[in-house]
Amino acid sequence: MSSARTYDFVIAANRLPVDRIVHDDGSVEWQTSPGGLVTAMESVMRGREAAWVGWSGQPDEAPEPFLDNDLLLVPVPLSADEVAAYYEGQSNDSLWPIYHDVIVPATFKRRWAAAYEKVNRRFAQQCAEVAAPGATVWVHDYQLQLVPRMLRVLRPDVRIGWFNHIPFPPVELFAQLPMRHAILNGLLGADFLGFQRPADAENFLRACRRLLGARTKGDVVDVPETDRRVRAAAVPISIDAGGLAELAESEPVRQRAKEIREQLGNPRTILLGVDRLDYTKGIRHRMKAFGELLDDGRLSADDTMLVQVASPSRERVAAYRELRHQVERTVGNINGAHSPLGSTAVSYLHRSFPREEMAALYRAADVMLVTPLRDGMNLVAKEYVTCHEGPGALVLSEFTGAANELRQAFRCNPHDIEALKNTIMAAIEAPAAERNRRMRALHRQVTRNDVQHWAGKYLDALEHAPEKPPAP
Ligand code: ADP
Ligand code: G6P
C-alpha cells in the first residue's frame, strides 16, 4: 500500500496499538498491546484518519502497512538484536530505571545506546515517509527521544510534538546517562514537549540549563545555536472515561461483577491490585503490608481477600524476572500462612484480561490499591474510580502523577509500611458516607478531564507553541 507523504496526522510510539502474536501452530493473531500508552492513545486515535508508526512486538518481522478502520498502521521492523539492545537494553534497562528514581540500578552499554540511535533514526525516516507536507507528527515516550530532532532534519516542514508518558527525572539522576546530551538535543527538535506533571517539565527545563547551558524563560527553552524556541509544559493524560463508564454500567459487566464476588466466596472486603508486573508499581510493598495486617490480626483471610492481577511484562530483563520470583514467593508465603481451606488470601492472576473482565473486577472491588514507588500517571487509578459504583475506596501512592489530580483518594507513602497498613485500614473502615463522597468527587474529576479533553489540550498547545494557547 502506498502511504508516501499522505497523512496530515501521524503518531509514533514504540508499539503499535496491536501486538502480533504468532502461536505455536504458526497461526497469527493481533491483540491489544500492553500498557497505559496504548490504552490512552487507542481511544484518541479511534475514528481519526491518521497513521500510527510503531513496532509489531515481534522480532524480525515487518508486515506491510495496513488499515485498521481509518487508521493506517505502519510496522517498523526490529531485528532480534535490536529488540535486545534498543528495547530491553537502552529503553528498559538504562532509561526506565533512571526515569523512575533508580528503584533498581541502571545499566549502561555503548552497544545499547548505538542501537537506540539506529532504531530512532528508522522511526524518524518512517514518519518522514508517511507525513504529508505541513503535517503534525506526535512522538510518544522515552523509547523515541531522538526522533524529534532527526525528523526535523528530514522534514523541516512538519510540526513535531512529543509526550512523555513516564516521569522525567531530576537532573542529578538524568546526568548519569552517557547519552544525556543526545537526548536533550533530540527532544529539542520538537515544537512542544508534554509531560505528566509540572515537576517533570521543570526537571527537563533544569536539565537544559545545567547540561546544555540553554537559556529558559518560563516554560520556553531557547535552543542553543539556533533561533528556535521550544515549550515544555505539563498536560496530564487520562482515560476514555465515557466509554469505560458505559462498559462498566452495561448489564453483562454488572452481572459479571456479582459473579466475581460470589466466585470469591462473598468476602466482606475485596482488595484489588492491577499492574504490569513492574518493580515501579510497589507490588512487594503492598503484599508486605497486606501480609502483616493478616499476621497482626487486624485483617482476617476469612472475610478479606486481595486479588492481584499482574500482567506479564519485559520478562527477558533480569530485574523483571527477579521481581516475578519475589512476588510469587510472597504470595505463596501469605497463602501458606493464612488461606482458609478451599479459598486463598491472595488470588494472584499473572495474565491479561479483556476490558470487560477488568471493568467487572473494578466494580467488584471494595478497595483499590495503587501503590507505585514512582509512576508517570497510573491509569488504573482513573479506571477504578470510573467503573466503581457505591462506596469504594482508592488507596493511592503520592508518587504517581494521578495523585496530583485525585485529591480525594486515601493517599499513602508505600515506603512507610506501617503508614501504608494504616491507610489500607482507614480505607476499609471509613464510613460508607465518606467513601461515597470521596468516590463521587474522584469520578467527577476523571469524567471532566478525560483523554479526549487531554488530546485537545495537547494538540492546542502544539499548534500554538512556543506561545501558550489562548485561554479556552
Ligand atoms: P503502565 O502504563 O505503566 O502499564 P497504567 O496504569 O498507566 O500503567 O496503565 C496500565 C493499563 O494496562 C491500564 O489500562 C490497565 O487497565 C491495563 N492492564 C493492566 N493489567 C492488565 C491485565 N492483566 N489485563 C488487561 N489489562 C491490563
Ligand atoms: C508504559 C510505557 C509504554 C509501554 C508500556 C508497556 O506504559 O509508558 O511506553 O508501551 O508501559 O510496556 P512495554 O515495554 O511492554 O511496551
- Model pLDDT for residues 11-40, shown as the tens digit of each residue: 999 999 999 998 989 898 999 999 999 999
* Residue 36 alpha carbon to ligand 1 centre in Å: 6
Spatial distance between the Cα atoms of 385 and 364, rounded to a whole number of angstroms: 12
* Residue 273 alpha carbon to ligand 2 centre in Å: 18
Report which ligand 1 atom has the smallest distance to the Cα of 34.
12
Mutate to test the pocket of ligand 1, among 18, 38, 39 (most ligand atoms within 8 A of CB): 39
At residue 1, the pLDDT reads 52
At residue 2, the pLDDT reads 59
At residue 298, the pLDDT reads 98
Provide the sign of the torsion angle of the four alpha carbons 96, 98, 100, 106, taken in this order: positive
Q: How far from 92 is each of 34, 99, 235, 403, CA to CA, in Å?
A: 15, 10, 24, 24
Please indicate whether residue 379, judged by its CB atom, sits closer than 6 Å to ligand 1: yes
- Model pLDDT for residues 328-368, shown as the tens digit of each residue: 999 999 999 999 999 999 999 999 999 999 999 999 999 99
Main-chain dihedrals φ then ψ at residue 455, nearest 5 degrees: -65, -40
The answer to whether 123 and 101 have CB atoms below 8 angstroms apart is: no
Domain ranges, ordered by start, for the chain: 7-237+453-464, 242-448
Enumerate residues 6+ apart whose C-beta is below 8 A from 345.
Answer: 290, 294, 301, 304, 305, 306, 334, 335, 338, 339
Same fold flag, 7-237+453-464 and 242-448: yes
Whole-model pTM: value is 0.97
Provide the sign of the torsion angle of the four alpha carbons 439, 431, 288, 404, taken in this order: positive
Spatial distance between the Cα atoms of 45 and 66, rounded to a whole number of angstroms: 15
Provide the sign of the torsion angle of the four alpha carbons 86, 36, 73, 121, taken in this order: negative
Low-confidence stretches of the chain (pLDDT < 70) are 1-2
Spatial distance between the Cα atoms of 150 and 319, rounded to a whole number of angstroms: 31
Q: What is the DSSP string of 109-152?
A: -HHHHHHHHHHHHHHHHHHHHHEEEEEEEEEESGGGTTHHHHHH
* Residue 318 alpha carbon to ligand 1 centre in Å: 21
- 333: its cell numbers: 508465603
At residue 4, the pLDDT reads 82
Spatial distance between the Cα atoms of 111 and 427, rounded to a whole number of angstroms: 48
* Residue 45 alpha carbon to ligand 2 centre in Å: 17
Give residue ranges with CB within 6 A of ligand 2: 14-15, 34-37, 141, 165-166, 313-314
Spatial distance between the Cα atoms of 435 and 438, rounded to a whole number of angstroms: 5
Residue nearest atom 6 in ligand 2 by C-alpha distance: 35
The answer to whether 140 and 12 have CB atoms below 8 angstroms apart is: yes
Q: What is the DSSP string of 20-88?
A: EEE-TTS-EEEEEPPSHHHHHHHHHHTT--EEEEEE-SSTT--PPPEEETTEEEEE----HHHIIIIII
At residue 455, the pLDDT reads 98
The 346-349 sheet, strands edge to edge: 346-349, 304-311, 269-276, 367-370, 393-397, 410-412
Spatial distance between the Cα atoms of 151 and 145, rounded to a whole number of angstroms: 11
Residue with C-alpha cell 547551558?
Answer: 213
Fold classified for 242-448 = Rossmann fold (3.40.50)
DSSP 438: H
| Rg of the chain (C-alpha set) | 22
Reported CATH class of domain 7-237+453-464:
alpha beta
